[in-house]
Chains A and B, each alone.
Chain A
Amino acid sequence: DAGVIQSPRHEVTEMGQEVTLRCKPISGHDYLFWYRQTMMRGLELLIYFNNNVPIDDSGMPEDRFSAKMPNASFSTLKIQPSEPRDSAVYFCASSWGSSGGSYNEQFFGPGTRLTVL
């Protein structure tokens, strides 16, 4: 398997523009996670899906952020409008579930480095 795939790897945009980040999880994994990482705040969970359904979006910073998972092999994270403080590395990760509703180790994609000018 190719692992978790994310695109683009780098994105530079101007404040106010819409940004869409894409993720293809590992085939067979039923959990998908979106994270944001900055030096100041570390790794933050934004939202996660189980079987394409959003389970917990409490980490989404505000209404400017939205995430979708239309099928088991694709997810998007959209920021509209983008702001300079959104600059960070955004990781997508996937996992398979275990009994009791928990999940196993997460496999991370290479990340998207977003810069908002």
Chain B
Amino acid sequence: GQNIDQPTEMTATEGAIVQINCTYQTSGFNGLFWYQQHAGEAPTFLSYNVLDGLEEKGRFSSFLSRSKGYSYLLLKELQMKDSASYLCAVIDSNYQLIWGAGTKLIIKP
């Protein structure tokens, strides 16, 4: 079956760094997305990885290892506004988008 695993919840301190992991087992792979979703709002796009390696975009970076079925989202210089859920999603070989359950990130002062 298709499966995406993320930690349910993580807590970090303002100004620190946090890494949110995502592992996947899907029938094929055509790309991986990370989305951010604040409570009561719609998901918004953060990053897209299709090749191995690190993609950096400001305070956020996303890493992919296709051979390991693994990705992480790295958030630096955490701010209170980064408190949100972070969703990992994979496009499989049939171009179906498989979503993880999301990781709720709590930032403490």
Contact = CB atoms under 8 A, between A and B. Distances in A.
Contact of B101 (A42, A102, A106): A42
Counting chain B CB atoms within 10 Å of each CB, which of A33, A43, A107 scores highest? A43
A102 B31 contact: yes
Given A45-B97, A56-B96, A105 B91 contact: no
Contacts of B45: 105-107
A105 B95 CA distance: 13
Interface stretch (A14-22, A60-68, A108-116): A108-116
Contact of B42 (A42, A44, A100, A111): A111
Interface residues on B, range: 10 to 19
A115 B30 CA distance: 36
B64 interface: no
Contacts of B24: none
A5 to B, nearest CB: 12
A101 interface: yes
Contacts of B41: 110
A106 B43 CA distance: 9
A91 B87 contact: no
B37 to A, nearest CB: 8
A108 B44 contact: yes
Contacts of B30: 100, 102
B99 A45 contact: yes
Nearest to B91: A102
Given A102-B30, A102-B31, A105-B48, A43 B43 contact: yes
Interface of B: 30-31, 33, 41-45, 48, 87, 91, 95-97, 99-102
14 contacts: A33-B97, A42-B100, A44-B99, A45-B96, A45-B99, A101-B95, A103-B95, A105-B33, A106-B33, A106-B45, A107-B45, A108-B43, A108-B44, A111-B42
